[in-house]
Chains A and B, each alone.
Chain A
Amino acid sequence: MTEENKKTLIIEGKEVEFTDEPNLLEVIRKAGMNVPTFCYRPDLTSFGACRMCVVEVEYPNGRRMINSSCTMPPEAGIKVHLNTEKTRRIRKTVLELLLANHDRKCLTCERNGNCELQQYAEEYGIKDIRFPDKELKDYLPIDDSSPALVRDPNKCILCGACVRACTEFQGHSVLGFANRGSKTLVQPMNGRPLGQVDCVNCGQCAAVCPTGALSIKNDTDKVWDEITNPEKTVVVQMAPATRVALGEMFGLKPGENTIGLMNAALRRIGFNYVFDTNFSADLTIMEEATEFLERLKSGQNLPLFTSCCPAWIKYLETQHPDMLHHLSSCKSPMSMLSPVLVELVPKYFNVKRENLVVVAVMPCTAKKYECKRPELGKDGRADTDYVITTQELGKMIRSAGIDFNSLEPEENDSPFGEYTGAGTIFGASGGVAEAAVRTAYEFATGEELKPVDIKEMRGTTNRSKTVELDIKGTKVTVRVVSTLKEAEKAIQEIKDGTANFQMLEVMACPGGCINGGGQPRSCDDSTVKVQRAEGLYKEDSELPFRKSHKNPSIQKLYNEFLEKPGSHKAHEMLHTVYNNKFAGSYKDV
């Protein structure tokens, strides 16, 4: 930065420098101050809908005006006043109007205690609402048709964050505005139930929703029922991304690895055995690396698409069924571990199958949809009985009265709890591809890969990366994308014949699973996902084994049970087929 483009403005009497901040609100935050907002999300375009972030701007010529700081570009020389009589009065009126039209049954709301409307109403001391309440006849039905999300239009404040998330992340716009004026609604096409439209259940809409209008379907009661039933043996697995985010709900820093505390908390809650999805992430790599090398050899069905993300799979099944043959036939790590547990926990731990309950803790709302897919089960029972999100686990820990931070770290249960660094980086965009390449390289060449890190694949802010690799003379190009908008571009390249990559890793959430729809709320800070990813790569660098095929428990599982990667037994248990779900999708007109 040169001296010339160093510009300053004054916020609350303090001189603040700014450079290329897109709006005044970012400058205010950088200066360590803040104003309330419902609709501004740093990862989405500014919308200026809620008018909560208004500030009073004083120009050098003495003119004063009220402006929304999220849409106003910073200007040199202006004085910004955050809390004047005017701005506070405007914010209070906005809050009163929103509250008058809001279903205020906060105590039974999924977002109770974690709602921006509730928070600002409290901070601004709203005690009296001058406007008449919403009439009973104007209440609309709650839509709980989706396996992952609940939409309550009576709690919507029309900030449009969900509509922007759906459009700008997934390029999909399942949610849109309908009608006009006081009749405006946010809803899927013509008010159809969310469970019956092309929603991929990524949950990014709920992640950016300031109120309880879009919330995660809460399955904790069902899990508590199983845990408190003495006949049941309840086992749990948790995804890589959950361990670096759960701590945020207990005051820890984003990215802090809490796996030891998590293990302890899960046992305190009453789970009988605590395993780890990282273990089956290693298993996924054994199968997927083998599959990738086979496809490279035969030249068929390239590029290979990774298949860990359930939102991505539903997207392909409904929007591009002609591309399904590109998908790896590997199940996701969660859905690989569950059938292994269902088969082996009864043998190893002397439990009856009918009394075994498998729970998964995921950063992801779409996993709630995945676990209900009929092909991921046996004899009419799903392999994974319940999926709860990181947020829901945090709530369970609180409700069990556990002081998370004072727990003593504990180990996972063996043998399905041991993992390598390759398994742990699955949680960040680029991690699956990096883990696959680490193993594929050694499978193909028989030589050790050095260095282990493939840093070009990493990074949560760049949503599309192309990395060229040299596997002993064979050139391999890998495309790593996050968000379905970027995935769609890659698909169009394949359809146009311009694609130059042999592997496509897709994670539907921006930055990967660490920023999943079920993670603790972080939509007001885009650096949180970066810190969470750093947490995973840090764990990876510290583990004794960093390549999936070096995991001793994985080797043991193959020796004793699965024979070898790609074997008949492995296919039966760890692979699946995808269904053309075009019929009934929007495109099927």
Chain B
Amino acid sequence: MTAENLHKIDTSKLDEIINQYGGKKSNLIAILQKVQEVYRYLPEDAMIYIGTKMEGLSPATVFGVATFYAQFSLEPKGKYEVKVCDGTACHVRGSMPVLTAIKARLDLKDGQMTTNDGLFSLETVSCLGACGLAPVVVINGKVYPQMTSDAIKIVLDTLLKEEA
């Protein structure tokens, strides 16, 4: 670990979260969810800290859990987390053109999850259970039903205008 990232994470905040869950190894997923809420992703140092601090865990084990579940991100997510449903129903009703439209509007390259300004992050998820509204996009928990490439552009334009 280099000197500069020594202070990147606030260990007292992590201690607080760990203690909130009784420091129990069986609560690791809940702890990681809380940490992700704070940092919008799981910083490497946070995983290492949790792995050394909590009994019965190690950094490698925590990393294993964090990479097993799709809900955890090792890269910082954007202020707006855009989730495009690509379950069967959404897929056949055209979720892929919506995804392409979002990538084009936000200027995201292949494999890039978060915009350079850190405002938006994009991911596909499997079924959200709202198949009747397909194709569905969820932005920070708000559901946008029956999206088209034109409709999603309007949604994004509105958010971008608010941020400008």
Of the residues B9, B58, B63, contact of A172 by C-beta under 8 Å: B58
Cβ-based interface call for B52 (8 A): yes
Cβ-based interface call for B164 (8 A): no
Cβ-based interface call for B29 (8 A): no
A1 shortest CB reach to chain B, Å: 36
Q: Which of B36-72 contact A (CB under 8 A)?
A: 44-45, 47-49, 51-52, 57-61, 63-64, 67-68
Chain B residues with CB under 8 Å of A472's CB are none
Say yes or no: B67 contacts A179, CB within 8 Å: yes
- Given A180-B67, A589-B6, answer yes or no on A173-B1 (Cβ-Cβ < 8 Å): no
Say yes or no: B58 contacts A174, CB within 8 Å: yes
- Given A189-B59, A589-B48, A589-B52, answer yes or no on A177-B64 (Cβ-Cβ < 8 Å): yes
Chain B residues with CB under 8 Å of A440's CB are none
Say yes or no: A586 contacts B63, CB within 8 Å: no
Cβ-based interface call for B20 (8 A): no
- CA–CA, A505 and B59, complex, Å: 28
Chain A residues with CB under 8 Å of B60's CB are 173-176, 178, 187-189
Say yes or no: B61 contacts A589, CB within 8 Å: no
Most chain B C-beta atoms within 10 Å of own C-beta, residue among A176, A187, A588 = A176
- CA–CA, A179 and B68, complex, Å: 5
Say yes or no: B68 contacts A180, CB within 8 Å: yes
Most chain A C-beta atoms within 10 Å of own C-beta, residue among B9, B52, B63 = B63
- CA–CA, A174 and B57, complex, Å: 10
Say yes or no: B58 contacts A173, CB within 8 Å: yes
Of the residues B11, B45, B51, B67, contact of A178 by C-beta under 8 Å: B67
Say yes or no: B58 contacts A589, CB within 8 Å: no
Cβ-based interface call for A587 (8 A): yes
Most chain B C-beta atoms within 10 Å of own C-beta, residue among A175, A187, A586, A589 = A589
Chain B residues with CB under 8 Å of A587's CB are 52
Chain B residues with CB under 8 Å of A177's CB are 64, 68
Cβ-based interface call for A584 (8 A): yes
Q: Which of B55-112 contact A (CB under 8 A)?
A: 57-61, 63-64, 67-68
Chain B residues with CB under 8 Å of A586's CB are 48, 51-52, 58-59
- The chain B residue sitting closest to A180, CB to CB, is B68
B141 shortest CB reach to chain A, Å: 25
Cβ-based interface call for A61 (8 A): no
Chain B residues with CB under 8 Å of A187's CB are 60
Say yes or no: A589 contacts B63, CB within 8 Å: no
Q: Add 9 more A-B contacts to A167-B58, A589-B48 (CB < 8 A).
A: A174-B58, A176-B63, A178-B67, A179-B67, A189-B60, A197-B59, A586-B48, A586-B58, A588-B6
What are some 23 contacts across the A-B interface (CB < 8 A)? A167-B61, A173-B57, A176-B58, A176-B64, A178-B60, A178-B64, A178-B67, A179-B67, A180-B67, A188-B60, A189-B47, A189-B51, A189-B59, A189-B60, A190-B59, A197-B59, A584-B1, A586-B52, A589-B1, A589-B9, A589-B11, A589-B45, A589-B49
Shortest beta-carbon contacts, A-B, top 9: A176-B60, A173-B58, A189-B59, A589-B49, A176-B64, A189-B60, A177-B64, A587-B52, A179-B67
